């Protein structure tokens, strides 16, 4: 039976050492590429508006991820509040960019560990899926350290925008089973303009290489569920702003032609994008077809292609009463 690597790290004491090293970094925060340098241990904040405790905006069994992640029982998804990017088209902007509204959702590490166990034992999810984890790496490792003796045994998914620091990722080696990063841009100009992300291309590409070094190609169990590996998501943006040709060519040539990719057509002009002419529409069929043909030319045979109709089907609303992402915020006790 598959056993996630963090369990062996717990037994050896290495998981505790990693948690302590990462927590020390919060004293002059360099957890993500911004390296803001504030002391989050005493409540100071900067770009991500996040201090010491983790912020959990929603917890649910999520069925909208890739099939090998969601499976039949759902991915145990923990939506973390705030973000280290400012994407003008963010579909999760209600929790990623409304930091004043997220402050009340801070929880302690034991409570976060309890939520992991709730997803595992009560909902029967296939994995624990951390969404937007880049600014909370120390907190997540600390919570996993608490969750292991409580019985946590599921693979961990690191579901990230790709703007990650190599130093932080190296501390996750053996802890994370499945990396699910975005590869958003091939142009730093567009990354700065639309996501306020300096040198995004360099950081995201280096991060993806490190992730691939750690976990390699996707490995499935006998039921078709992901046990370990890398899945790279690429969101097609209108007007070629994602730089699909450059990004996917780099991925095939510099990482591996066998890497698993998830090509997403779900772009919708959410948040502030409707006021930006170059981002104010969904993608065209011709733009979608160009990327499909590119995938075929590059020989990237492993992964998924969203259908063109996806744009209307993936719009969460974290504030609407009764919406599953909202109502699924749980107290497992």
Across the chain, how many H-helices and E-strands are there?
13, 9
Identify the pLDDT of residue 314: 57
**DSSP alpha helices (H): ranges in 63-187?**
67-70, 93-96, 99-102, 109-117, 137-147, 166-171
On the CB side of 37, how many CA atoms lie within 13 Å of its CA? 0
pTM of the predicted model as reported, rounded to 2 decimal places:
0.94
Q: Tens digits of per-residue pLDDT, 131-160?
A: 999 999 999 999 999 999 999 999 999 999
Q: Which CATH number describes the domain made up of 5-327?
A: 3.20.20.70
Q: Where in the chain are the domains? A: 5-327
Q: Which residue has the tokens 């996806």?
A: 310
Average pLDDT in the 90-115 region?
94
Q: Tens digits of per-residue pLDDT, 66-100?
A: 999 999 999 999 999 999 999 999 999 999 999 88
End-to-end distance of the chain based on CA atoms, in angstroms?
29
On the CB side of 145, how many CA atoms lie within 13 Å of its CA? 20
Identify the pLDDT of residue 309: 74
Secondary structure in 3-state letters for 279-300: HCCCCCHHHHHHHHHHHHHHCC
């Amino acid at each position: 039976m598959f056993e996630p690597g963090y369990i062996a790290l717990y037994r050896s004491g290495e998981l505790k050492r990693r948690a302590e090293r990462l927590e020390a970094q919060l004293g002059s925060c360099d957890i993500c590429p911004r390296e803001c340098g504030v002391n989050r241990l005493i409540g100071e904040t900067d770009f991500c508006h996040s201090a010491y405790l983790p912020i959990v905006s929603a917890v649910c069994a999520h069925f909208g991820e890739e099939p090998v992640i969601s499976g039949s029982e759902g991915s145990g998804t923990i939506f973390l509040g705030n973000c280290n990017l400012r994407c003008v088209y963010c579909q999760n902007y209600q929790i990623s960019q409304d930091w004043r509204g997220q402050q009340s959702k801070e929880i302690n590490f034991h409570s976060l560990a309890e939520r992991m166990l709730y997803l595992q034992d009560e909902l029967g999810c296939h994995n624990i899926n951390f969404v937007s984890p880049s600014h909370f790496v120390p907190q997540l490792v600390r919570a996993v350290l608490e969750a292991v003796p409580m019985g946590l045994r599921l693979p961990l998914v690191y579901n990230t925008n790709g703007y990650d620091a190599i130093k932080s990722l190296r501390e996750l080696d053996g802890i994370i089973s499945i990396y699910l990063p975005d590869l958003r841009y091939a142009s730093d100009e567009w990354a700065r303009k639309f996501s306020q992300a300096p040198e995004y291309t360099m950081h995201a590409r280096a991060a993806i290489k490190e992730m691939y070094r750690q976990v390699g190609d996707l490995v499935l169990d006998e039921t078709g569920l992901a046990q370990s590996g890398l899945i790279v998501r690429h969101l097609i943006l209108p007007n070629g702003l994602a730089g699909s040709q450059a990004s996917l060519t780099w991925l095939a040539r510099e990482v591996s032609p066998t890497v698993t990719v998830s090509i997403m057509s779900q772009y919708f002009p959410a948040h502030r994008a409707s006021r930006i002419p170059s981002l104010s529409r969904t993608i065209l069929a011709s733009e979608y077809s160009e990327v499909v043909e590119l995938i075929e030319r590059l020989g990237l045979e492993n992964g998924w292609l969203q259908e063109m109709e996806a744009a209307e089907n993936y719009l969460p609303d974290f504030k609407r009463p009764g919406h599953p992402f909202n109502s699924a915020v749980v107290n497992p006790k």
